[in-house]
Amino acid sequence: MSYAPRGGRYHNHNHNHNNGSHNQSRRYNDSSNNNNYNNSNNDSVITCSFYNKIGACRHGEKCSKKHIKPTTSKTLLLANLYQNPKLNKNESEEVTEKQIQEQFDLFYQDIFIHLANMGEIYDFVVCENENNHLNGNVYVQFVSSSDASTVNTTLNQEWFNGRPVHSDLSPVTDFADARCRAYDTNSCERGEMCNYMHIRQPSPKLRELLYKAQDKMYSGVKLEKLKQQLHEMNESGLTTVGIVGAGAGKEEEEEDEDDDEDGGGEIIKQDANKLLNSLF
């Protein structure tokens, strides 16, 4: 199989490349998820509904309608990152569905952990469409647009499985609207002509473990930040001792002091990868 062994496949390189046209139950409905666009006067522009909803259009730059890229977004598109074994014409032996799922789970886990170490993920999907504009697309929606922006810059300096990563801010705000519901029930008859996401699902247990690990990690980060803020306020005389000690025993307060000496929440963030991997 062409899938490389896990571990050490992400590499940082300073390379310049142009970003081409390029169920989930965890839906983010906050109104702040609206994207900002480059063109401030779009009333007279006919925009491409497929690009706005799916983040990709089969016509690419030749589309007669406008593709307006957002300047801020919580969603990133990693174009054609997943290499679907079913579409590999060079394989001499037929790949079984079990093998495909095992390989996909490894891919899903690797990418999820790598991205979660850089920002808190709200939702994460992988497409296995047979057409060029959606095939292998990875969409990740972060909790914060600032994290998405930072991660986008970082990813565009990285390589995965010997290929440069192409990341871009995406206008997609709701994966539920972008997915092909017929494909979810194995009833899509449009094949490569379908312009909606054909989402490949990881094993349910794997997905559950990954999100639990991430929630655990970021809960720790947020808790440490709060402890640090309370400690700083107490040192400045802005709070009473009772606030710092509220709900915490003497042993926990002593642990807080140790954490502060070591840099507070920075430790948890640095050990994020260990924590995520601890569940496997």
What pLDDT digit, counting tens, does each position of 223-240 carry? 888 888 888 888 877 654
pLDDT for the residue numbered 1 = 33
For the structural domain made of 10-202, what CATH number should be given? 3.30.70.330
% of the chain beyond a pLDDT of 70: 67
Residue 6's pLDDT band (boundaries 50, 70, 90)? very low
Domain ranges of the chain: 10-202, 211-277
pLDDT for the residue numbered 19 = 39
Mean pLDDT, range 259-276, rounded to an integer: 49
Nearest to 102 by CA among 213, 209, 3, 211: 3
pLDDT for the residue numbered 240 = 47
Q: Is the pLDDT of residue 206 over 70?
A: yes
Residue 29's pLDDT band (boundaries 50, 70, 90)? very low
Q: Is the pLDDT of residue 52 over 60?
A: yes
pLDDT for the residue numbered 273 = 58
pLDDT for the residue numbered 228 = 84
